[in-house]
Amino acid sequence: MTAQGFVVSHAKDASFSRGLRSFFEYRDLGIREATAGRVAAHVIRAAAGTDFSSQPHAHATSFQLVYILKGWIEFEYEGQGRVRLEAGSCVHQPPGIRHREVGHSDDVEMLEIVMPGDFTTHEVDAV
């Protein structure tokens, strides 16, 4: 048996930093490094004192799952319209689906799991 790729991430050691969206903070869970970039997992939370502004965009992924841990967030999805997610809600965002964040609670926290770990994001025309 090998321990290669084994990783543990504890909340007490959590470190959040700014990332893809300026109005969110991201906590890397170490999965990207453990899987040699095949998968990324992070906790995302609202960044205190920042203005919310989201442009329509799409991600070059093969898999993306968002699970709401706390609070709520609302997205607008291409072909689906507005979708409000609350604590306990989960959404699979198909590869390349155009979407944008519409709003979120000040206390929102989400778990996001994405493949590949080093995906790209690009702005698109309206959703």
Could you give the CA distance from residue 6 to residue 100 in angstroms, rounded to a whole number? 34
Q: Report pLDDT for 112.
A: 96
Give the DSSP letter of residue 33.
Answer: H
Smallest CA-to-CA distance from 77 within 64, 58, 52 is with: 58
pTM above 0.75?
yes
pLDDT in tens, 45-104: 988 876 676 789 999 999 999 999 999 999 999 999 999 999 999 999 999 999 999 999
* Domain boundaries 26-123, corresponding CATH code: 2.60.120.10
Could you give the CA distance from residue 17 to residue 85 in angstroms, rounded to a whole number? 23
Q: Report pLDDT for 15.
A: 76
Is the dihedral angle over the CA atoms 91, 110, 8, 29 positive or is it negative?
positive
Q: Report pLDDT for 50.
A: 67
Dihedral Cα 71, 76, 80, 81, nearest 10 deg: 100
